A = this chain, B = another copy of it.
Amino acid sequence: MTDPYKATPADDERFMNMALDQAAMAAEAGEIPIGAIIVSPAGRVIGRGHNLTETLADVTAHAEMQAITAAAQTLGGKYLQGCTLYVTVEPCLMCAGAIAWAQIGRIVYATPDSKRGYSTFTSAPFHPRASVCHGVKAQEAADIMKSFFSLKR
């Protein structure tokens, strides 16, 4: 398996900031503010996505799904071996399954989702050699979710 991009902590913050930009775009569109970025083994951004479930009236249109589809289109192939996914909120079971199918090598998420996050259901949904990292920009990711839902009420 190709090794994921060897990101420094500063790289992780930079990429997570891009995912947060996607989350902000979602919020502006009235969508739950979750954003995702996919980075190639060479450190290039090859996919971006944010939640589009309301716009598309489609429960499957999560940020990660959009980013995975976009990255596969960029690469011209469906597998994303050695790629890193940055996402602002812990992936749900659906997205975790998609991440596994795509063979993504490293998953970095900002803030946990105690209700619908994959880890509530299973501890190891990903490729056996994939690594998981969380907590990068966690406060920012949680804040954008909180402020979105407080405006909704």
Residues on A lying within 8 angstroms of B by beta carbon are 53-54, 56-60, 65, 68-69, 72-73, 76-79, 92-98, 100-102, 121-122, 125
State the CA gap A77–B72 with chains docked (Å). 27
Q: How many copies does the complex hold?
A: 2
State the CA gap A53–B68 with chains docked (Å). 13
Most buried by B among A58, A78, A93: A93
> Do A102 and B68 have beta carbons less than 8 Å apart?
no
Question: Which of chain B's residues has its CB closest to A104's CB?
Answer: B59
Given contacts A92-B97, A95-B97, contact A102 B59 (CB under 8 A): yes
Given contacts A60-B60, A60-B98, contact A125 B78 (CB under 8 A): no
Residues on B with beta carbons closer than 8 Å to the beta carbon of A121: 121-122, 125
> Do B101 and A77 have beta carbons less than 8 Å apart?
no
> Do B59 and A78 have beta carbons less than 8 Å apart?
yes
Given contacts A121-B121, A122-B93, contact A98 B59 (CB under 8 A): yes
Minimum Cβ distance to chain B for residue A134 (Å): 19
